[in-house]
Amino acid sequence: MIFEGLAEKLQNTFSKLKSKGKLNEQDVTAAMREVKMALLEADVNFKVVKDFIGRVKERAVGDEVLESLTPGQHVIKIVKDELTRLMGETQSKINFSNKPPTIIMMAGLQGAGKTTTCGKLAKLLKKQGKRPLLVACDVYRPAAISQLEIVGEQVEVPVFSMGDQEKPITIARESIVHAEKNGNDVVIIDTAGRLHIDSDLMNELKEIDEQLHPHEKLLVLDSMTGQDAVNVAKEFNETIEINGVILTKLDGDTRGGAALSIRAVTDKPIKFVGMGEKLDELEAFHPDRMASRILGMGDMLSLIEKAESSFDQKKAKEMEEKLRTQQFTFEDFLEQLEQIRNMGPIGDMLNMLPGVPSKQMKNLNVDEKELNHIQAIIQSMTRDERTNPSIINGSRRKRIAAGSGTSVQQVNKLIKQFEQTRKMMKQFSGSGMDKLKKKGGKFNMPFFG
């Protein structure tokens, strides 16, 4: 079942109710039921939902909602405000010790993304002028140490390890000595994944905590986590009193209700979010965006930011120049296409737009298959053919069709469209391009839109 979006559902609920006249408390209860559903579908913990609904309902009843002409939107606003408030302020910063080195310790369940996040954080801090040291304290998972070493190499940050025979507390303690000697002002300790009910391993963390007093203890949590998130967060927080949370894998399509659950049980800030496997994909946490995401209300801001980060401004300028002088080739086109597709499925992107009803979305029908074909066709061209499409004769077209699993007609169509677009593009001089760009927003590519 496709989730239709809370806004739409609430609107429906209220339009039904409104025909009866003035809204009353029961109507608000009905609306709250939809909110409840949405939150549970988003994986917010059951008990957290109950509490939350109680609070929101209190605010909604006796409020102007009852008189409001657009009660659906009014309720949404209350819900979203309350949710954003619960999410806390944006606090995407690390507490540095005024007596370096600052010690940061990552902790969490298996596979949550600790090691990757250590690398991301090291990269970020390095960019801010720090001299971080990564410390390999996962002595259990096979190849965990070399994973961290490779990550360290990728972000050009040294890695301290003592193999997998020493105790984590020993490695951690030695790493501080090493950091002091080598002028590293931040130490980032990677620990093994552990279950919150594994008392031996939880004690191991406690030992590091009690002996080294890390300045930042961060719980790394997978954003796809379900109802169990409360247990995990609670146990980790009770054992080592965390300073904050890093929510990983938010580049997926999970609604991420775990974010609300962990806030509710720990009251600790979510500091950063992981937005991909690459080591520069760590971002600040935005409570308001997370609130919209959990409610399935679309997230305009994220979309815009995503578009901006996907489109390299300098490259865009180059592309523009090429278009104007008719030097735009299939090679360039492929690059552009890939950039756009890197942002995720087109349909998903459109889904992120608020206020676009799902019914209309279905009619829009962005054909991913068609894009696959286009990509395959261009990929099957030789370099020469891509830069100089005029050499693509009949036999070459046949070869390209066979290579890309498409038909000669499809290849013909693409080449024709490409030539036409190229001609058309040439007609836009500088100012014309600007206008076109405004009209088409960020997506000013041939064949598109």
Partner 1 sequence: MLKNLFKQKEEENPEESENARDDEKVTTRQDGEEKPEEAVSLGGLFGRLKEGLTKTKKGITDRVDDLVKSYTKIDEELFEELEEILITADLGVNTTMEIIDQLRDRVKENKATDPKEVKGLLKELLTEALEEVANPTLDLETTPSIIMVVGVNGVGKTTSIGKIAHKLKGEGKKVLLAAGDTFRAGAIEQLKIWGERSGIDVISHQEGSDPAAVIYDAIQAAKSRKVDVLICDTAGRLHNKKNLMNELGKVFKIVRRECEGLSQESLLVLDATTGQNAIQQAKIFKEVTNISGLVLTKLDGTAKGGIVISVSKELKVPVKLIGVGEKLEDLQSFEPKIFVDALFD
Ligand X SMILES: Nc1nc2c(ncn2[C@@H]2O[C@H](COP(=O)(O)OP(=O)(O)O)[C@@H](O)[C@H]2O)c(=O)[nH]1
Structural tokens at position 7:
């806004």
Q: Does 248 bind ligand X (CB under 6 A)?
A: yes
Distance linking the first and last C-alpha atoms of the chain: 28
**CB-nearer residue toward partner 1: 53 or 94:** 53
342 contact partners, CB below 8 Å, separation of at least 6: 310
**CB-nearer residue toward ligand X: 60 or 232:** 232
Q: How far apart are CA 42 and CA 56, in angstroms?
A: 17
**CB-nearer residue toward ligand X: 187 or 250:** 250
**CB-nearer residue toward ligand X: 115 or 266:** 115
In the window 144-203, what residues touch ligand X (CB under 6 A)? Answer: 193, 195
Cis omega (within 30 of 0) for bond into 101: yes
Judged by phi (left if over 0) then psi (alpha if -120 to 50, else beta), residue 21 lies in left
335 binding partner (options Mg ion, ligand X, partner 1, none; Cβ < 5 to 8 Å by kind): none
Q: How far apart are CA 29 and CA 57, in angstroms?
A: 7
| Stretch near partner 1 under the rule CB under 8 A, chosen from 33-41, 98-106, 316-324, 407-415 | 33-41
SS3 312: coil
- For residues 135 and 189, the answer to whether their CB atoms sit within 8 Å is yes
- For residues 350 and 1, the answer to whether their CB atoms sit within 8 Å is no
User: What dihedral do alpha carbons 367, 373, 379, 380 form, nearest 10°?
Assistant: -170
Q: Does 276 bind ligand X (CB under 6 A)?
A: yes
Q: Does 290 bind ligand X (CB under 6 A)?
A: no
Query: For every residue of 143-165, which 3-state class applies, written as one string?
Result: CHHHHHHHHHHHHCCCEECECEC
Contact pattern from residue 210 through residue 249 relative to partner 1, giving x for each residue in contact according to CB under 8 A and a dash for the rest? ------------x-xxxxx--xx----------------x
| Stretch near partner 1 under the rule CB under 8 A, chosen from 112-120, 165-173, 281-289, 439-447 | 112-120
C-alpha distances out from residue 186 to 157, 251, 386, 408, Å: 11, 28, 48, 59
Cβ atoms < 10 Å from Cβ of 399: 17
Q: Does 141 bind ligand X (CB under 6 A)?
A: yes
Q: Which residue is nearest to ligand X (CB)?
A: 274
**DSSP 8-state assignment for residue 389:** G
Q: Does 281 bind partner 1 (CB under 8 A)?
A: no
Contact pattern from residue 106 through residue 125 relative to Mg ion, giving x for each residue in contact according to CB under 5 A and a dash for the rest? --------xx----------
Q: Does 88 bind ligand X (CB under 6 A)?
A: no
Q: State the Cα angle at 408 between 404 and 412, rounded to 5°.
A: 105
Q: State the Cα angle at 111 between 169 and 125, rounded to 5°.
A: 65
Q: Does 444 bind Mg ion (CB under 5 A)?
A: no
* Binder of ligand X out of 101, 244, 257, 274 (CB under 6 A): 274
Structural tokens at position 26:
């029961």
143 binding partner (options partner 1, Mg ion, ligand X, none; Cβ < 5 to 8 Å by kind): partner 1
| Stretch near ligand X under the rule CB under 6 A, chosen from 103-111, 358-366, 373-381, 392-400 | 103-111
368 binding partner (options ligand X, Mg ion, partner 1, none; Cβ < 5 to 8 Å by kind): partner 1
Which spans of this chain sit near partner 1 (rule: CB under 8 A)? 1, 26, 29-30, 33, 36-37, 40-43, 45-46, 109-113, 115, 140-144, 146-151, 154, 195-197, 222, 224-228, 231-232, 249, 251-255, 257-258, 277, 338, 341-342, 344-345, 348, 368, 372
Which spans of this chain sit near ligand X (rule: CB under 6 A)? 108, 110-116, 141, 193, 195, 220, 248-249, 251, 274-277, 281
